[in-house]
Structure 1
Amino acid sequence: MIVIIYCDASLQDSYSKLQYGHRLDRKLINSFVNFSILDCAEECLRTTRCKSVNYYKGAHFCEINYENKSSANDRFLESPRWIYSEKEDWDIGIVSSCSASNCSINEKCKPLPMGKFECVLSDCGIPSQWGMNLSSVGRWEGIGIERFMKFDCYQNCSQSGSRLFVCAPNGQWETDLKCVCASSWIEYQGHYYYLSEKKVKWTDAKLECEKRGSHLVEIGDQEESGWLASTFLVKSSCSTNLFEKCTAWTGGNDVDVEGRYRWSYSNLSITFTAWKEGEPSVGLPTIAEERDCIDLLRTGEWNDRPCSYINSFICWIEYRDNCYYKGKKRVSWTHAKMECAKRCSHLVEIGDQETSDWLASTFLYKSTCPANLFNDCTAWTGGNDVDVEGQYRWSYSNVPITFYAWKVGEPSLGSPKGAEIRDCIDLLRTGKWNDRPCSYLNPFICEMSYGQ
């Protein structure tokens, strides 16, 4: 009998990166019994959506996850006897023929004899329904084929139907859950905002937003600051004193380090500010130490107050836990990347048709769009084949693009002269994609995933 043991430096390196006593919670694709840690890693490598694994050695139990500790840091927990590992820690070569697979985001590679493989459905993707609270998912629920999940609607929404979502063999979720949400949530630039007239201190405002599956608003530019103020705070009943009425808590604060302002939910440093003249109070040591929380005035300007002040507050929800911003300035693709980086974000990366359609309908579709789809109402994405002609990748994550939504006739690979100069992907108002010269002047869409 001949025993072949796969053992090389790369595998030894992978084992050295195992993180003992930790696991990622409630981001499950699927689970398996009677698996070794190597079996678990191979399953993740073959599954396109997988980013990390949890492994319980005593029971030979494997979980593969659709997030990792960087993208879901709040779900990375200390768990005795568990082992955590990330997809990138393992050599793709251990999955033999599947190392060259090009399966879609909701598929996994199934190896076949003679060095061949096939792509089979692995999961139904992340459920998405307006008003549905994704944080209500249970510990053992997953998105894999024939698994189920249970969800509640946000606290401010009425709920009908079963909480149950079942991932059918065809890769579609089956459910009759309906969430009907209060009209007080207002959509702007891909975010949903809610003003609570209930007056509470800043820490309680954070909790109130969390009850609604949201967080205290984080403001990215002057346009957004002005829109929030004019939409929610300008009223005929406002006092002549800007500071007395018609104000609202934001997520901005310098609670941890005096003078270093951060957003409470994303924990990012605040780079754009709109302070009222004379604010903040950091130049006044006697009062600065107690004025650690930022509220918004009806002028669109900011003020710092004691966090114990009783104030209204504005909550904010993103689409699928991502924050999006459309830059109206028309710039080249390279310049668009830089503009997004200034906002601590990156050019948008699109994983499915639903997201592509949502981005187009939210940011691009207007009654003033011309008949020609290519002339206006378009925006840069992060997709490109700048490095190798025909091999499209996302600019920020640098991963190959596995889902495509090309308009009929695109991309320009069949036209060699055109293909060589059309290396960057923009989004059309129909949700379809087009390739253009990267020097084309276009608006752009930035994306930031919280927790990253």
Structure 2
Amino acid sequence: MYLPRSAFTTKYQISPYQCAFECQCRRQRCKSFNYKRSALSCQLCEEDSGPEGINLQPKAGSIHSNIDTWKNIPVGNCNAITCSWTERCDSSVDDPQKACIKTECQFAVLRPGIRIEPSNETAVRTKARYRCMSDEMGRGNFLTTCQESTAEWSQTDFKCVCKSPPAKSGTVLEEVEVEVGLNYTYRCLNGLVGKKILSPIITCLQDGSWTLTNFTCGNTFMQELRKSSFEIHLHIHIDKK
């Protein structure tokens, strides 16, 4: 069995007992672990299996264990020490002030439309890449690193954008890029007005497309009336000739 979408770091070439030990040393964050026998790999997870294992999925060669079943595993002074979410307790250190070591970042807070790869590794010094649904939508520095000194991801200006919105009759044509989740408002050309019953606002979607609107700009009622009157007058004048 296997718990998906919850692992925050992976350890290699260790036994199930060592895997449980690593989880216990991160009691604030680690609630369970996945262990793959063939690879001797251990995934530490933020969540447990849930009532009657409801969160688990079948996976050949993998076992899952909640850390509550390993309460008696010896972790030295760490039994009495509570480290932060991003720290591991070093059981070999006697001084409680020095036992907590920054080892992982929290999961990165992602801006709309962005995913991070790898998505399940937050260990310090890990280099990750931000991506959009389509690579051509990305703008800015896409690389980030879990910093050892702060256990925080390095800041970047990366974002996902939609290219210029589709042209609408009578509107100002602008070459702009808008971030996913944000809005663009159509503006009418000088002398034209928009139809009040239609919204001039569209939103940039995660796939790079825009929400739909039938908004257009045109003459006011009085302008149309004057235009019609002029055309009628012109037609009469031509007929008289």
1:160 aligns with 2:139: yes
1:44 aligns with 2:29: no
1:32 aligns with 2:11: yes
Structure 2 counterpart of 1:150:
129
Partner Cα separation in structure 2 for residue 23 and residue 164 of structure 1 = 30
Partner Cα separation in structure 2 for residue 32 and residue 182 of structure 1 = 36
| SS of alignment partner, residue 110 of structure 2 | coil
Q: Percent of counterpart pairs with the same letter?
A: 21
Q: Do the aligned residues in 2 keep the contact of 1:93 with 1:99 (CA within 8 Å)?
A: no
| SS of alignment partner, residue 57 of structure 2 | strand
Structure 2 counterpart of 1:105:
85
By how many angstroms is 1:26 displaced?
4.2
Partner Cα separation in structure 1 for residue 152 and residue 93 of structure 2 = 29
Q: Do the aligned residues in 1 keep the contact of 2:33 with 2:42 (CA within 8 Å)?
A: yes
Distance 1:31 1:129, change over 3 A: closer
Structure 1 counterpart of 2:182:
183
Q: Do the aligned residues in 2 keep the contact of 1:131 with 1:154 (CA within 8 Å)?
A: no
1:82 aligns with 2:81: no
Partner Cα separation in structure 2 for residue 50 and residue 123 of structure 1 = 12
Q: Do the aligned residues in 1 keep the contact of 2:8 with 2:122 (CA within 8 Å)?
A: yes
TM-score (norm 2): 0.56
Partner Cα separation in structure 2 for residue 118 and residue 61 of structure 1 = 25
Q: Is the radius of gyration larger for structure 1 or structure 2?
A: 2
Structure 1 residues not aligned, in runs of 5+:
1-21, 186-196, 198-210, 214-452
Structure 1 counterpart of 2:213:
none
Root-mean-square deviation (Å): 3.5
Q: Do the aligned residues in 2 keep the contact of 1:23 with 1:77 (CA within 8 Å)?
A: yes
Partner Cα separation in structure 1 for residue 155 and residue 93 of structure 2 = 38
| 1:124 aligned partner, one-letter code | C
1:402-413 alignment runs, 5 A limit? none
1:206-221 alignment runs, 5 A limit? 212=206
Structure 1 counterpart of 2:108:
127
1:226-305 alignment runs, 5 A limit? none
Structure 1 counterpart of 2:48:
68
1:432-451 alignment runs, 5 A limit? none
The count of residues paired between Structure 1 and Structure 2 equals: 164
By how many angstroms is 1:149 displaced?
3.2
Structure 2 counterpart of 1:312:
none
Distance 1:132 1:69, change over 3 A: farther
Structure having the larger proportion of residues in strand = 1
Q: Do the aligned residues in 2 keep the contact of 1:109 with 1:119 (CA within 8 Å)?
A: yes
By how many angstroms is 1:183 displaced?
2.4
Partner Cα separation in structure 2 for residue 149 and residue 70 of structure 1 = 29
Structure 2 counterpart of 1:54:
34
Q: Do the aligned residues in 2 keep the contact of 1:106 with 1:125 (CA within 8 Å)?
A: yes
Q: Do the aligned residues in 1 keep the contact of 2:113 with 2:206 (CA within 8 Å)?
A: no
| 2:152 aligned partner, one-letter code | Q
Structure 2 residues not aligned, in runs of 5+:
161-178, 185-200, 208-241
Alignment deviations for residues 213-243 of structure 1 (CA, whole Å, 9 cap, x no partner): 9xxxxxxxxxxxxxxxxxxxxxxxxxxxxxx
Distance 1:28 1:146, change over 3 A: farther
Distance 1:34 1:115, change over 3 A: farther
Partner Cα separation in structure 1 for residue 80 and residue 94 of structure 2 = 14
Partner Cα separation in structure 1 for residue 48 and residue 113 of structure 2 = 22
| 1:172 aligned partner, one-letter code | E
Q: Do the aligned residues in 1 keep the contact of 2:112 with 2:206 (CA within 8 Å)?
A: no
